[in-house]
Amino acid sequence: MTEITVSGMSSADIPAVSKLERLCFSDPWSSEAISTLVLSPERSDSFRQLTFAAHIGSRLAGYAIVYLVAGEGQLERIAASPEFRRMGVGKALLGAVMDEMRELGAGRITLEVRESNAAARALYESSGFVTDGIRRRFYRDPTEDAVLMSAEIK
């Protein structure tokens, strides 16, 4: 079994996260935006930005970005490198996110996912997420509906 370690992102992760962002998303966040999240994340009484990196050995296998807003988590990004998919990277990242949200007192976490992304939807459902609705034509390049999902954090 491959050992996956999950921790907060560090500055050393930024180049690999930026590369993976461009590989996995049709609307990638810029390297500068990722750097800002990692190096000087916003924090206030009602808002926090959290970043997670999953490594297999010394290689970045995936990452997650989540916001905590007024006691509720919003999963903004989660991605696993194609070479490490189906190895538990997404599950490990999602578990770390849920654990951190629980520790910070969040009662719920929400996300949206492309309707066609069956693998991600299956991961979320296996982790206790349920479908709350559809946001029509939410995604671009290509245009596609978003499935809105949430999970109670216990």
Q: Which residues are catalytic?
A: 112, 124
- Closest C-alpha to 107, from 65, 68, 49, 147: 68
- Closest C-alpha to 38, from 73, 10, 67: 10
Distances (CA, A) of 116 to 88, 130, 139, 143, 147: 20, 16, 11, 11, 9
Angle at 33 between CA 27 and CA 37, to 5 degrees: 125
How many other CB atoms are there within 10 angstroms of residue 44's CB atom? Answer: 6
Would you state the structure tokens that stand for residue 4, as one six-digit string? Answer: 């996956």
Non-local CB neighbours of 102 within 8 Å, separated by 6+ positions: 153, 154
